[in-house]
Structure 1
Amino acid sequence: MFKRSVGPASLSLFTFRVCAAPKKDSPPKTSVKVDELSQGQIAVSSHSCDTYCEPYTSWCQDTYSQSKPKMQSLVQWGLDSYDYLQNAPPGFFPRLGVIGFAGLIGPLLTRGSKIKKLVYLPGFMGLAASLYYPQQTIVFAQVSGESLYDWGNVKNSPGTK
C-alpha cells in the first residue's frame, strides 16, 4: 500500500504524529492514533496524492533515463582522459604547452576585431598542432574538405531551397 522512498538514514530517527481531520458531525477530537485510522481513508488519500504527482514523477523518470547514459559516457570520458594524462606519452606536455601558447597569441594579435578572433585563435592553434601531428592534420583536412564539399553541393543543388 505504501511505497518506500530512499532518504537519509537520519530521517528514520524522527517520530511522526499522524493526525486526521474529524467528520463534520462527529465530536471534535484533538488527534487520532495510527491504529485508529481507517485503511480506506489512507488508501484514498494515498491514491489521490499518487494521481496528482504521477505526471511530475514520470517526467522526472523520463528525464533521468535520457540523461543517465549521457552522464555515464561523460564520466567515462573524464576517467579515460585522467588515465591518459597520468600515462602521457613522452613529449606530450611540452607540445600541449606550445599549442596552448599559440592559442593565447591569437587574442593578443586581434584586438578589437571579433572576426579576427574567430579566425586567428583556432588558426594559430591548428598551425601549432599541425607541426606536431602532421598525419592527423592531413586526415582532418581531408575529412573537413569532403564535408564542406558535400555541404556546398547540398545547398547549391537544384530542387533545394
Structure 2
Amino acid sequence: MFKLSLYSVPEHQSKYVEEPRTQLEESISHLRHYCEPYTSWCQEKYSQNKPKIQSLVQWGLDSYEYLQNAPPGFFPRLGVIGFAGVVGLVLARGSKIKKLVYPPGFMGFAASLYYPQQAIVFVQVSGEKLYDWGLRGYIVVEDLWKENFQKVQISSQ
C-alpha cells in the first residue's frame, strides 16, 4: 500500500510568464497616466471640503430636528420676523442701499422684540467689532496722512 504524506508538497517547476499587453490595455494605461494629476487634484479638494460638507449636513439635520420639535410659539414668531423683512423690502423700493438696509433692520428689530437677551449680546459684540474696525481705519488714515502730507511740507520748505 502506498501512503502519501499530508504535509508534503509535490515539486513542480512552475514558471510564470506575463502575457504581453494588448492595445486596449496600453491605451487605458496611457489614459490613466494622463488623468492622474487631475484625479489627484480632485481627491485633494474632496478631502479639504469633506469636513465642511459634513458639518453643513449635520447643521441641516440638527435644524430639521429642531423644527420638528420646535418650542411653542416659535412658528408665529418666525412668521412675524419674516413679515417684517417683507415690509422692509416693500418700503425700500427704488434704492439699492435701502434694499440692503431695511429688510435686515426690520427683521432685526422684530427679532429683538422676541429675543431681547440675544439682541443685547449681538449689539454688544457688533459694537465692539465696529469700534475695532473704526479704530483700524483711523490708524490707516492717520498713517497715510503722515506719509503723504509730511513729505509735501518737507519738500516745500
Q: 1:41 and 1:110 mapped to 2: Cα distance? A: 68
3-state SS of 1:38 partner: coil
Q: 2:98 and 2:32 mapped to 1: Cα distance? A: 58
Compute the displacement of 1:129 (Å): 0.3
Q: 1:60 and 1:148 mapped to 2: Cα distance? A: 39
Compute the displacement of 1:152 (Å): 1.1
Q: Residues 24-39 of structure 1 correspond to what in structure 2 (within 5 A)?
A: 38-39=20-21
Q: Per-residue displacement from partner, 1:65-88 (whole Å, max 9, x unpaired)?
A: 112111111110100000000011
Identity %: 70
Compute the displacement of 1:107 (Å): 1.4
- Across the aligned residues of Structure 1 and Structure 2, the Cα RMSD in angstroms comes to 2.3
Q: Per-residue displacement from partner, 1:49-103 (whole Å, max 9, x unpaired)?
A: 3321111111111111112111111110100000000011111001000000000
- 1:84 paired residue number: 66
Larger Rg: 2
Q: 1:74 and 1:61 mapped to 2: Cα distance? A: 20
How many residues end up aligned between the 2 structures?
126
- 1:112 paired residue number: 94
Q: 1:83 and 1:44 mapped to 2: Cα distance? A: 53
Moved more, 121-130 or 48-57: 48-57
TM-score (norm 2): 0.72
Residue 157 in 1 paired to residue 139 in 2? yes
Residue 62 in 1 paired to residue 44 in 2? yes
3-state SS of 1:157 partner: helix
Q: Per-residue displacement from partner, 1:90-119 (whole Å, max 9, x unpaired)?
A: 110010000000000011112211111211
Q: Residues 92-111 of structure 1 correspond to what in structure 2 (within 5 A)?
A: 92-111=74-93
Q: 1:102 and 1:90 mapped to 2: Cα distance? A: 20
Give the unaligned 5+ runs of structure 2.
1-18, 145-157
Compute the displacement of 1:41 (Å): 7.0
TM-score (norm 1): 0.70
Give the unaligned 5+ runs of structure 1.
1-36
Q: 1:45 and 1:117 mapped to 2: Cα distance? A: 58
Structure 2 counterpart of 1:49, from 25, 31, 40? 31
Which is helix-richer, 1 or 2? 2
Residues 43, 125 of structure 1: CA spacing in aligned structure 2 closer, same or farther, 3 A cutoff? same
- 2:12 paired residue number: none
Compute the displacement of 1:44 (Å): 5.5
Compute the displacement of 1:146 (Å): 0.2
